[in-house]
Amino acid sequence: MTDDITWEAAVIEVTRPLDGGQPASALDLKVYGTTGNETRYDNDPTLEEVVGWAAYAVEKFFDEPLVSRASCADGALRFDAWDLVKLNDAYETDFDILDAAGVAIQTGSFSMEAMWRTSTVRVDLDAPESAASVVVHSVWGVSSTPLAFTCAR
């Protein structure tokens, strides 16, 4: 890009501070066009219309639900989950516990929190496996990548 062309739209994502750290830039996207930041007034400044690119209420989407921090202790599994899109309302969804061969050995449901809040799930395991994984399903039938966990026997 040349210095004489200005960006027309921008999207910035900032991470949440973790463990007392500072927020950081996760994404800084600038969309360039040929019009810069011109506007068109049609001889009436109250009718301002942006010429070129514009962005409103930009959202991100994931290919699948996110699952992390799976841990197992005393016959119970705990994991965190987030939906693949940000929704206004919580909803009931399902999960599967898979054995080492990828066969479902237990299923259950939980409330997927709204607005990408963390859904912390605790599951009493029917028969704790030494090595297993958890898969979360979205309301649209999209499944997460299996997240492995180990249970102490």
pLDDT attached to residue 1: 44
Please give the average per-residue pLDDT across 10-26, as a whole number.
Answer: 80
Lowest mean pLDDT among 55-59, 70-74, 118-122, 137-141: 55-59
Separation CA 29–CA 96 (nearest Å) = 37
- Domain extents for the chain? 7-50, 66-150
Report yes or no on whether pTM surpasses 0.85.
no
86: helix, coil or strand?
coil
Separation CA 20–CA 70 (nearest Å) = 22
- Are 48 and 41 in contact, with CB atoms under 8 Å apart? yes
Greater model confidence, 118 or 19: 118
> How is residue 113 written in tokens?
């929190």
Separation CA 138–CA 117 (nearest Å) = 15
| Residue 14 predicted with pLDDT over 80 | yes
Separation CA 18–CA 21 (nearest Å) = 5
pLDDT attached to residue 152: 73
For domain 66-150, the CATH architecture is: Sandwich (2.60)
3-state secondary structure 41-68: CCCCHHHCEECCCCCCCCCCCCCCCEEE
